[in-house]
Amino acid sequence: MIGEKGKLLYHVYRALTYGLSPFLYLHLRFRTLQGIEHPVRWPERLGRPSTSRPPGHLIWFHTASLGEGMAAIPVIKRCIEERPDCTILMTSTTASAFEIITNQLPTGVIYQFAPLDIPAAMDAFLGYWKPNAVMLMECELWPNLILGAARNGIALALLNARMSAKSFSRWSRPVLLPLISLMLSKFSLIVPLSTMQGIRFQLLQAPPYVINFSGDLKYTVEEFDISKRGVQSIEELKVQLAHRQVWMVSSIHRGEEEVMLGVHKVLMRMHPDMVTIIVPRYPQHGREIAIELQKEGLNVALRSRDEKLMSGTSIYVVDTLGELRHFYTLTPIAVIGGSFLPGLTGHNISEAAAAGCAVLTGHHVGHFSDMVLKMQRSNPLSVLQVSAEELEEALSELFSNSEILEARCLAAKQAFQALSSGIVANVWNQLNFNVLRQALC
């Protein structure tokens, strides 16, 4: 009965997305004019390929944005090692992911922008690329994609599977539960981020036998390339910061800059030679922060202008993409943003831990709460959660007590190393056994 309701709901969804297709096309063109979509390759979002499909087996990895894309790359590399006979196709939806990921992918991997989940675009994409298997990352649950793939006999896997409390509540409603149940029934493998995430997928009626745990792929922090100019600039910054106290706040969202700048001003009274590195989630936000601070008469250096850290510069704003992991090597203290205001859901803390930073984050961490808890269980000093009001005191202690700072830096690195071991191998084994052996035979 639920299966029939699910099919009926899917037909309604397909009809709605078909009817909305002209409006979604106009919206896509508007986003292109705004510079949000790629100015040349935007037709790929309509399922129109920009390169030819090689003969033979093809595995499609689909990610939403940069974070998921970087997490998928180690698995892609393992697939290439184990199955060199297969072509790998990778898609994402954002131009920012395109700019970074395409420079990090192994030779031979094809990159395309993901098609919109409208019938014409998805059918054209699947019909042209004819993948043997689709690996979806995290929460990319799109009905036309999933049910279109199943209709064409394409195997499906969901890696680093997660569902926010809000999404779970929405999908659990009686009117939508049959549709999500139908979609999840098409997967050969679901690898949840955590036990809680696994329970949510089971409550949404995913078949229990397809749910397997392998660890969080966001622990698989790999070194990746930046330009020679970028490397030289990072080395120059290390020299400029060598004799100054420094802390960094990364991935902040709008509103959080007020918290961080308030803390900065207080700390400056005690440590006048201190430097605060600010890395907003979005580059444009960084430029806005720099303009406002300059209006206040503060000496601010902006990354995109290649401005130097002079003796009077106390704030360095990073308004570029793809350099965050390298900036973690410049500071002993990393405050992870997107977590200090209600409604936010946190960001990946493992990159800062891998670099050996003392890691601080707020309490609004969403699905990253599992990562925080696991690191704290591995070593209680590895991650310090504080409120916006407590942040100033916590940083003051780290600045004034080198032993505590060193202990937290070491704890973060040790916890990361303990939790990251073997994850890619585990995911590969699950993929090979549950998906690829049948899909590539």
Burial category of 307 from C-beta neighbours within 10 Å (exposed 0-12, middle 13-18, buried 19 and up): middle
> All domains of the chain, ordered by start, with CATH?
2-213 (3.40.50.11720), 228-420 (3.40.50.2000)
pLDDT in the model for residue 180: 97
Give the residue among 429, 435, 439 at the shortest CA–CA distance from 131.
439
CA distance 59 to 110: 10
What is the pTM assigned to this prediction? 0.90
Dist. CA 263–CA 395, nearest whole Å: 9
pLDDT of res. 322: 83
Strand partners, 159: 137
Report the residue count for the chain.
441
User: Would you please indicate which residues are annotated as catalytic (active-site) residues?
Assistant: 68
Residues ≥6 apart with Cβ < 8 Å to 194: 216, 367, 370
pLDDT means per 10 residues, the chain with 441 residues, are: 86 96 95 91 96 97 91 95 96 89 92 97 98 96 98 97 93 96 97 94 96 91 59 86 94 96 94 95 93 89 89 92 91 97 94 96 93 96 96 96 97 95 94 94 78
At residue 230, the pLDDT reads 66
Residue type, 389: E
**Confidence (pLDDT) at 95:** 86
State the pLDDT at residue 254: 95
pLDDT of residue 96: 83
